[in-house]
Amino acid sequence: MKDINKKTKFKKIILYSFLSILFGILLSIITIFTFKAETFQDYMDSILVAGVIVFSVGWLLYITNAGIFSLVAYGTQRFFNALLKRKHRTYEDMMFNRSKVDMLVILSLWLGGFIVLLAAIGMYIYYYTVLI
């Protein structure tokens, strides 16, 4: 039974990593078209920025799971509930009922971001050793 669970986790990590790499490619394409990239260095920069964003999203999800932003989220919810005259929950209720992001998603975002960053670093190495 443990082998099936490991295979399932491995498949999920591969799938989520593939999706995060696709997300990085999509961010790169959006960056290229938004800033009208013309040179090879512009393409490298857009891929590097996309890799950093994908990796940072994983990092933000990780620290959110740790509860770092929970007090800020509670204060914001309480403020808007007071403005809208809704019943508010206590901080303990919010902490007890909150949902956490699966660690497999976070690891796959880190892995996908790292792969996109490696692609950008490879392009930088190619640019500075061959093209210049």
Which pLDDT score is estimated for 124? 94
Q: Which of 46-55, 84-93, 123-132 has the highest mean pLDDT?
A: 46-55
| 3-state SS assignment for residue 94 | helix
Contacts of 16 (CB under 8 A, 6+ apart): 104, 105, 108, 109, 112
Query: Per-residue pLDDT for 5 more than 90?
Result: no
Both tokens of 64, joined, read 């959110």
Sequence letter at residue 32: I
Which pLDDT score is estimated for 29? 94
Q: Does residue 91 or residue 53 have the better pLDDT?
A: 53
* Tally of structural domains, the chain: 1
Which pLDDT score is estimated for 4? 67
User: What is the average pLDDT score of the chain?
Assistant: 90
From residue 129, alpha-carbon distances to 90, 119, 126 in Å are: 59, 15, 5
Question: Considering the entire predicted model, what is its pTM?
Answer: 0.82
Both tokens of 83, joined, read 């403005």
Query: Per-residue pLDDT for 1 more than 60?
Result: no
Q: Report the chain's C-alpha Rg in angstroms.
A: 20
Range of the domain at 52: 2-131
| 3-state SS assignment for residue 36 | coil
Q: What percentage of the chain carries pLDDT values higher than 90?
A: 57
Q: What pLDDT, in 10s, does the model give residues 23-75? A: 999 999 999 999 888 999 999 999 999 999 999 999 999 999 988 888 888 88
